[in-house]
Amino acid sequence: MAKKLIALLLCLTLLCALSAECFAANCRECPCANCPCANCFAGQPESANYELKQVVVLSRHNIRSPLSEKGSVLDEITPHEWFTWTSNPGELSLRGAMLETTMGQYFRLWLEDEGLFPENYLPKDGAVRFYANGLQRTQATAHYFSTGLLPVCVVPVERHVDYNTVDGVFVPVLTFMNGAYEADLRAEIAERGGGEGLSGYSASLHDAIRLLMDVADVEESEAYQSGAYGNLLEDETVLNLVEGKEASLSGPIKTATSVADGLVLQYYEEPDELKAAFGHELSLEDWKTIGTILATYEDILFGSPSLAVNVANPMLRELFAELNAQGRQFSFLCGHDSTITSVLAALGVEDYELPNAIEPTTPIGSKVVFQRWVNEDGDSFFKVELVYQSVDQLRSIQPLSLEVPPMIVPLSFKGVPVNADGMIPEKDLMNLFLDKISMMSELEEVYTAEEQVLPAAA
């Protein structure tokens, strides 16, 4: 008996020591209490007295081709030839389609394992809902996910606008703007940039942009030498805030983001790592450095709380309605990285880290998963997680299963309590949504009144 106990302790010690390698394993039963593996948070809460009742997914589309066409920034700013994309500009790629189907298959296995879905589920009317932005990449992502999730059922994907046009629910458009509000937004963004505004953001990205320029050999391109794109390391970036449109940038950070986007997508698609980096040897840390350009761009445009509650308001309303839809078991809403960024910022998400990801906040194909669990007393609680495919899973199109899950990281929100199992009481999550939704009308009232008194004060 003593020998068996010693052997067990040695085994547990070894498992803890190897926990950093358990990302590719089924970590839901990992015996190490402090295991750093993100997947240890997956699945049912620690207490066995919960039953999964509902899942609402807010998804980013999967891998697409770059948004740029012939004669665009990507075409001109490097002397190299890009990967031959498998889809038209901005559309879901063949790899993206396969990856999204694989993700849908994983969710099917998980939901069957938790008892929410029976095998080969044929949902009743209203039990399952798919809704996506009108663009090809979001519509296609939702279709491919549904194929993996419900392989014997044809699921319609809602589209509330003309095909290949944008739906305001998914696109973070500024629905209100005036002078007083704009001034406060710019001050808030400046503070988030270290008190130096966009110059602070530019300074923080200096090394990342320098690396990007070296990898793409930007300074060897005729367009860059001609001055068509200015100086990516020294020029000023400009923030544009216009009612009825998305916040936008012009200048170096915008240009660098376009190039970084193309390069990261090329890395996902191109099997040869040297070819993916135009002949340069890059480590995963180098790719993560390039990924910070993408995250910073998103943070500037959609990450400020006072801006996020404005642009995310339609999606917050949609999510709240889905979370409270009678008879709904599963919902899938498919938008963009900006959709997720703005929603999480509006809700006040706590800082989080994503292991094995190039894009540090909203990886391609990532999903915010709201899970309603009910305990034996009939009380509802929520887990909120970010689910995404690792860099290796994206590049290898690795099949996913309960034994080989995607990456899963728990999310929490400022000022929102959790119970001993890391769960948010239903009333607290609903109150968070209602509070953030109501902030939009309050914001309009406050800034409209403030604008009206400014002339008199002058």
Residues 352-392: pLDDT tens digits? Answer: 999 999 999 999 999 999 999 999 999 999 999 999 999 99
Instruction: Provide the residue type at 92 as one letter.
Output: L
Catalytic residue list contains 337: yes
The domain defined by 179-306 folds into Rossmann fold (3.40.50)
The domain segmentation of the chain, as residue ranges, is 38-73+92-173+309-441, 179-306
Q: pLDDT per residue over 285-328, tens digit each?
A: 999 999 999 999 999 999 999 999 999 999 999 999 999 999 99
Mind listing the pLDDT tens digit for each residue in 51-76? 999 999 999 999 999 987 767 899 99
Residue 452, pLDDT > 50, answer yes
Question: pLDDT confidence of 31, banded at 50, 70, 90?
Answer: very low
- The catalytic position among 61, 143, 261, 286 is 61
* Fold annotation for 38-73+92-173+309-441: Rossmann fold (3.40.50)
Instruction: Give the global pTM.
Output: 0.90
Active site residue 392: no
Domains 38-73+92-173+309-441 and 179-306 share a fold: yes
With the C-alpha atoms ordered 70, 76, 81, 87, is the resulting torsion angle positive or negative? negative
Please pick, among 217, 337, 379, 392, the residue that the annotation labels catalytic.
337
pLDDT over 70 (residue 117): yes
